[in-house]
Amino acid sequence: MNEFIISLTNTPTDELTLDFLKKAKREYAREHAMSSVPSNMQLLHTYHELVKSGAIQKNIALENVMKKRPIRSMSWIVSVQVLTKPFWCPGKCIFCPNDFTMPKSYINTEPGAMRALMNNFDPLKQVYNRLLSLTLTGHQTDKIEMIVLWGTWDVYPDDYKEEFVKGLYDACNTFPEYYNTVELTKNNKKSSHYSAQSDFSPEVPATIEESLTINETSNNRIIGLTVETRPEYVNDKNCQFWRKLWVTRLEMGIQSTDDDVLEANKRGHTIQTCREAVHKLRQYGFKFSVHLMPGLYKSTYEKDVKTFEDIYSDPYFKPDEIKFYPTSVIPNTELYDLYRNGEYKPLDTEMIKKLIRHTFLQIIPPYTRIKRLIRDIPSTEIVAWSNVTNLSQLTHKEILDQFRQSDEGKALYERMYANYRYCDSIDDYFAQQASHDDEQHIETYYIGNKPDTESFRTYVSLDTRTREIRQRYKKENWMSITPKPEDQVAILTVRKYKSSIWWEYFVSFEDELGYLYGFVRLCLPDDDKVVDFAGIGQWYAMIRELHVYGQLKGINTKDASTRRFSAQHKWFGSQLMQFAERQAASLGYAKLSVISGIGVKWYYKKIGYHEEWTYMVKTLS
């Protein structure tokens, strides 16, 4: 198969499409009397052997068309999940499994947990294993979102936490060295079942500060770092320790906004504790994701609906991301005993689908992301509740089919475009901004082009994940789509909403149907809502997230000033940052502070930012 791969590497880049590859594989199989066409995994295996031997050069275009499960890196980054070692948990939640081989709340048959256990929870080995798997299946691993799983990170001793995170940075910094030592045998095709070599021992620096510095320019950079915690552990001391490690995002269980439900499930905190925790996260500029669990003991369908309504109406919440985890009954839990005794009845599949539908169509706003819908627990571990593991896809398809047969989808679009304002240019936008009052609703501005408020689209929720630009095209054609600049319309869109810290701006580039090219989360805190600390404080505006899904060769607008704005900054990231700077300056902020991952410091330095402790800061003119 070597000659076939070599011939593919000699193919012009613009001809390397999925259709071309399928046809070439069929012809190769026919010429060599093969019983079946070679799989992409077989091709990738041969390709990597040839690259390592020096027979061919690395070919990104070819890797892209051979890539397995391209969705893993379609957002231009890859996620790597690792687990910390088993440890005591302060929570007594009645629904949490108690697997002594795992950190509490995890089961050793979950995919990420299996990988952690196989590598003895060693951070280097877990990262090596995952990066190897991604590399062998054709994914680029230069930009990494690192996610450290377990519900209460903060109960570990500080020296363990620092050592563990140092191991993550060291693994990324030394992965090329590790990869060069791996013998790519046929068994390694199943890389998810591969344990990192126990005899590989890289040379790493003595301190985490040195490891961080190396990662700024390494081949595999951590651009975002996530840890999990409980609401009662969100305080100034922990926020500052997280930033010392360059943590950028927190995940936290809220589960319900009903105190009686929280108490019945032994959560150990009230909803007020959750409100204060989220407020503190905003003060330090963290991005955050909250977990919600409909179907808890002593809850009802009505209480679950109210939880979602509260989460998006209470200015202390309005999360950037949510994980939607319907309650499952797992053996060896208090909830299992209640279920077996007839004291608890979980939500059935139809009720969960009804709740998903209601939240999608009536509650979820355009600035949030549904990070996960249904937890990745094997169906064999679930005693009661729906064990339909693809419930998310089924529900989405059902709603979409109904959209096709009626005008129901238009109600969703109306919620997205309700009372929007159109601005001919950016100057026009700043001239007509509404005064900052106490209104709680979202104000939306479209700049340079008006959106299409009528045409059918394939999303059934307004969240950012379902509106990524890749979702507009069929997956099998995504890598080969090269639309002409004149066919593309990127509308600069501004959504302003009130949070506990004051005003937040979700600024995005969207096409005429609302599909996202990229966005920035800009936070404008009030004077009496800030924490005075290095890199943040009074008269500092904050950027909590910058994310770009794709790039355009040009932006087609009909307004001259908008075209000039676009032409000065080729990439969406720069355009969004420039707009955020102007927005903050227009309201009197002296500096703009970015909560940056260590791996993207170089980008912010390139556009005029300097380092103030662990934040990247620019003085506004």
**Helix/strand/coil (H, E, C) string of 69-105?**
CHHHHCCCCEEEEEECCCCCCCCCCCCCCCCCCCCCC
Instruction: Tell me, yes or no, whether 88 and 189 share the same domain.
Output: yes
Domain membership flag for residue 84: yes
Percentage of residues of the chain with pLDDT beyond 90: 58
pLDDT at 382 over 80: no
Boundary-marking domain end, from 387, 406, 425: 406
Query: Which amino acid, one-letter code, is at 575?
Result: Q
d(CA 191, CA 494): 43
Instruction: Tell me, yes or no, whether 414 and 381 share the same domain.
Output: no
Domain membership flag for residue 80: yes
Instruction: Tell me, yes or no, whether 111 and 216 share the same domain.
Output: yes
Total domain count, the chain: 4
d(CA 196, CA 128): 6
Most confident of 19-28, 184-193, 422-431: 422-431
In the chain, what are the helix, strand and coil shares in percent, each to the nearest 5?
40, 15, 40
Instruction: Give the largest Cα separation in the chain, rounded.
Output: 75
Boundary-marking domain end, from 44, 66, 88: 66
Instruction: Show the tokens assigned to 589.
Output: 């902020």
Q: Read off the pLDDT of each residue in 3-14 and give the average, rounded to a whole number.
A: 87
Nearest Cα neighbor of 244 from 217, 211, 275 is 211
- The alpha helices in 284-333, defined as continuous H runs, are 301-313
Dihedral, 582, 585, 587, 590 alpha carbons, nearest 10: 160
Domain membership flag for residue 44: yes
Nearest Cα neighbor of 286 from 365, 229, 371, 221 is 229
- Report CA 434 to chain centroid distance, whole Å: 31
Q: Write the pLDDT tens digit of every residue in 204-229.
A: 999 999 999 999 999 999 999 999 99
Q: Write the pLDDT tens digit of every residue in 488-514.
A: 578 999 999 999 999 999 999 999 999
Q: Write the pLDDT tens digit of every residue in 109-165.
A: 888 888 899 999 999 999 999 999 888 888 889 999 999 998 799 999 999 999 999
Q: Write the pLDDT tens digit of every residue in 163-186.
A: 999 999 999 999 999 988 887 655
- Residue 446 belongs to domain spanning: 409-619
At 198 the pLDDT is: 66
Nearest Cα neighbor of 326 from 358, 364, 361, 291 is 291
Among 115-124, 193-202, 333-342, 559-568, whose mean pLDDT is lowest?
A: 559-568
Domain membership flag for residue 302: yes
Contacts of residue 29, Cβ cutoff 8 Å, sequence gap at least 6: 36, 37, 38
Domain membership flag for residue 246: no
Q: State the chain's mean pLDDT as an integer.
A: 86
> 584-597: b or e for each residue (b if 16 or more CB lie within 10 Å)?
bbeeebebbbbbbb
Instruction: Tell me, yes or no, whether 25 and 77 share the same domain.
Output: no
Domain membership flag for residue 528: yes
Contacts of residue 390, Cβ cutoff 8 Å, sequence gap at least 6: none
Domain membership flag for residue 488: yes
Boundary-marking domain end, from 39, 66, 93: 66
At 76 the pLDDT is: 63
Q: Write the pLDDT tens digit of every residue in 79-116.
A: 999 999 999 999 999 999 888 888 888 888 888 888 89
d(CA 560, CA 554): 14
At 483 the pLDDT is: 44
At 404 the pLDDT is: 74
At 388 the pLDDT is: 67
Instruction: Tell me, yes or no, whether 287 and 350 share the same domain.
Output: yes
Q: Write the pLDDT tens digit of every residue in 443-488.
A: 999 999 999 998 888 899 999 999 998 888 654 344 444 444 445 5
Which one has a higher pLDDT value, 308 or 413?
A: 308
Q: Read off the pLDDT of each residue in 268-293 and give the average, rounded to a whole number.
A: 97
Confidence of residue 191 (pLDDT cuts 50, 70, 90): very low
Which one has a higher pLDDT value, 19 or 487?
A: 19
At 227 the pLDDT is: 97
Instruction: Tell me, yes or no, whether 419 and 487 share the same domain.
Output: yes
Domain membership flag for residue 416: yes
Instruction: Tell me, yes or no, whether 329 and 288 share the same domain.
Output: yes
d(CA 368, CA 148): 21
Instruction: Tell me, yes or no, whether 554 and 476 share the same domain.
Output: yes
Instruction: Tell me, yes or no, whether 452 and 375 share the same domain.
Output: no
At 54 the pLDDT is: 86
Decide: 170 and 202 in contact? Cβ < 8 Å.
Answer: yes
Instruction: Tell me, yes or no, whether 491 and 467 share the same domain.
Output: yes
At 355 the pLDDT is: 94
Q: Write the pLDDT tens digit of every residue in 577-590.
A: 999 999 999 999 99
Instruction: Tell me, yes or no, whether 586 and 610 share the same domain.
Output: yes
Instruction: Tell me, yes or no, whether 608 and 459 share the same domain.
Output: yes
